[in-house]
Amino acid sequence: MAKLWAGVTAGETDPLADDFNSSIRFDSRMFRQDIRGSMAHAAMLAARHIITGDERDALTGGLAGILEDLESGALAIDTGCEDIHMFVEQELTARIGETGKKLHTARSRNDQVALDLRLYLREECAEIGGLLDRLTGVLTDVAEQHTESIMPGYTHLQRAQPVSFGHYLMAYAMMLLRDRERLHDALGRMNVSPIGCCALAGTTYDTDRAMEARLLGFADVARNSMDGVSDRDFCLELMGAFSILMMHLSRLSEELILWASWEFRFIELSDAYTTGSSIMPQKRNADMAELVRGKTGRVYGDLMGLLTTLKGLPLAYNKDMQEDKERVFDACDTVKLCLRIMAPMLAGMTVRTDNMLRAAQTGFINATDLADYLVRKGLPFRSAYQLAGRLVARCMEDGQVLESLPLSVYRSYSPLFGEDLYQEIDLKTCMEKRISEGGTSSASVKKQIAWVRAVLEHD
């Protein structure tokens, strides 16, 4: 079939080249945005008397029909077309005749594709933002049930100080709130209209770019036409935000995998989100969490792939840029899948507070509190630290924990020790006394929960 772009190029292209050149396999998912953009374009052309009102109505009616038929399945996308833009234009002309050929006045596929992609990703951002908030909500709800569930907090994966499971989960809620902000920031810069930049240099027609931008809900127009058609920063920024988000989900997944292991047994994942082994009947594998961790690499790859594609491109549009879509679509699809699976997996897990507490009872995670006790009795911190260290070593020798070491032994190290010591090194006291802003006390964690909920609700 003759190409819509057959101008000076009269010769036939090789079918292999057509196939290589084509993007319809992956850009047809933007058909709604393409049609919406074309409707706005027709409206602007008529408003500036570049086409007549009747022509606008014919174009808009034809486009609406195509949209309806694509939605209902009555019309199938012709994968023989080079891309979605060509398909829609070809179908329109087939339906309404010569007027269809006027749609592409004062427009190029270069600004058209940049427009479609921004429209498409804007919608994805809204959907992903909703899924992200849902996951943050689940974390917050589970945290609320565990503001008093004591577990060991770790540094270097060594037991460090007691924290509540609620506090632990709220750390992830904070990360997700920052991801939400990053998404929002990326959306702000994405919400700029490239349509009207045309091929690269603008157009000789008296167009109204601001009107098209307004019709399509953009906050602004791209201020330089060469930049407008060749800017893909919005894809990179989005994938940058996604990469950080996936890194967070991957860290959380790693925790879930560890916690679900027999070594920790802090949680049990529900049957709905675990798999068995084909050979070992006892197995319950955290495959979903492992896949989230694994798919993180995939999203990083999408970002690196597009960064690499763009790095050597001279202005303005180059066909290399067609490679943007598969990357950014894959990143969106992957992020959505992961957010969708994480929320119910977390909501449905069983939290084994008994095992968490048992782990907290060994490892001397109240040693800092022992030192702080001595500080309150007047000893300088460094000396108190050394003395607490010696007592921990003594416990290790005797097979004791700090709570079970007799007062007489304590007093043989320092006369500052009294009966009140045991209350001070009780794990619950250790946790509840950490009342500093952002600390692990239940009062502080409740404040964190309230703050996160307020952010989720108010903007």
Give least dist CB 117 to ligand ARG, A.
8
Which residue shows structure tokens 């992956």? Answer: 26
Cα 103 from Cα 88, distance rounded (Å):
11
Cα 438 from Cα 171, distance rounded (Å):
10
Nearer to ligand ARG, 26 or 451 (CB): 26
With a CB cutoff of 8 Å and minimum separation 6, the contacts of 228 are 111, 114, 194, 196, 197, 221, 222
Give the DSSP letter of residue 275.
B
- Considering only 273, 317, 373, 410, the residue that binds ligand ARG (CB under 6 A) is 317
Give least dist CB 84 to ligand ARG, A.
8
Helix (H) or strand (E) holding 374: helix 367-376
Amino acid identity, position 231: D
Applying the rule CB under 6 A, the residues between 90 and 109 that interact with ligand ARG are 109
Q: Phi and psi (nearest 5°) for 164? A: -95, 155
Q: Which residues are catalytic?
A: 156, 277
- Alpha-helical (H) ranges within 103-261 are 109-145, 165-190, 209-215, 225-230, 233-259
Residue 162, beta-bridge partner list: 152
Nearer to ligand ARG, 17 or 407 (CB): 17
Burial of 440 (0-12, 13-18, 19+ CB in 10 A): buried
Give least dist CB 322 to ligand ARG, A.
4
Give least dist CB 21 to ligand ARG, A.
8
Nearer to ligand ARG, 318 or 355 (CB): 318
Stretch that binds ligand ARG, among 30-38, 224-232, 257-265, 318-326 (CB under 6 A): 318-326
The C-alpha torsion from 286 through 289 and 290 to 294, rounded to 10°, is: 170
* Cβ–Cβ < 8 Å for 83, 27: yes
Nearer to ligand ARG, 23 or 442 (CB): 23
Nearer to ligand ARG, 166 or 194 (CB): 194
With a CB cutoff of 8 Å and minimum separation 6, the contacts of 206 are 48, 50
Applying the rule CB under 6 A, the residues between 108 and 127 that interact with ligand ARG are 109-110, 113
Give least dist CB 85 to ligand ARG, A.
6
- Considering only 13, 93, 105, 322, the residue that binds ligand ARG (CB under 6 A) is 322
* Cβ–Cβ < 8 Å for 132, 179: yes
Nearer to ligand ARG, 23 or 136 (CB): 23
Q: CA 314, 315, 317: angle at the middle one, nearest 5?
A: 105
Stretch that binds ligand ARG, among 226-234, 316-324, 415-423, 435-443 (CB under 6 A): 316-324
Stretch that binds ligand ARG, among 71-79, 176-184, 315-323, 411-419 (CB under 6 A): 315-323
Nearer to ligand ARG, 162 or 194 (CB): 194
Q: Which of 228, 190, 227 is nearest to 209 (CA)?
A: 228
Stretch that binds ligand ARG, among 163-171, 314-322, 352-360, 404-412 (CB under 6 A): 314-322
Cα 293 from Cα 302, distance rounded (Å):
15
* Cβ–Cβ < 8 Å for 181, 454: no
SS3 221: strand
Stretch that binds ligand ARG, among 131-139, 180-188, 284-292, 319-327 (CB under 6 A): 319-327
Give the interface size with ligand ARG as a residue count (CB under 6 A). Answer: 10
- Considering only 30, 39, 55, 83, the residue that binds ligand ARG (CB under 6 A) is 83
Give least dist CB 26 to ligand ARG, A.
9
Nearer to ligand ARG, 322 or 400 (CB): 322
Give least dist CB 172 to ligand ARG, A.
37
* Cβ–Cβ < 8 Å for 2, 90: no
For the beta carbon of residue 457, count every other beta carbon within 10 angstroms.
Answer: 8
- Considering only 173, 321, 359, 392, the residue that binds ligand ARG (CB under 6 A) is 321
Give least dist CB 303 to ligand ARG, A.
19
* 351 interacts with ligand ARG by CB under 6 A: no
Whats the size of the chain, residue-wise?
Answer: 459
Nearer to ligand ARG, 85 or 167 (CB): 85
Give least dist CB 179 to ligand ARG, A.
28
Sign of the alpha-carbon dihedral angle for 105, 111, 117, 122: negative
Applying the rule CB under 6 A, the residues between 15 and 34 that interact with ligand ARG are 23, 27
Residues of this chain that interact with ligand ARG (CB under 6 A) are: 23, 27, 83, 109-110, 113, 317, 319, 321-322
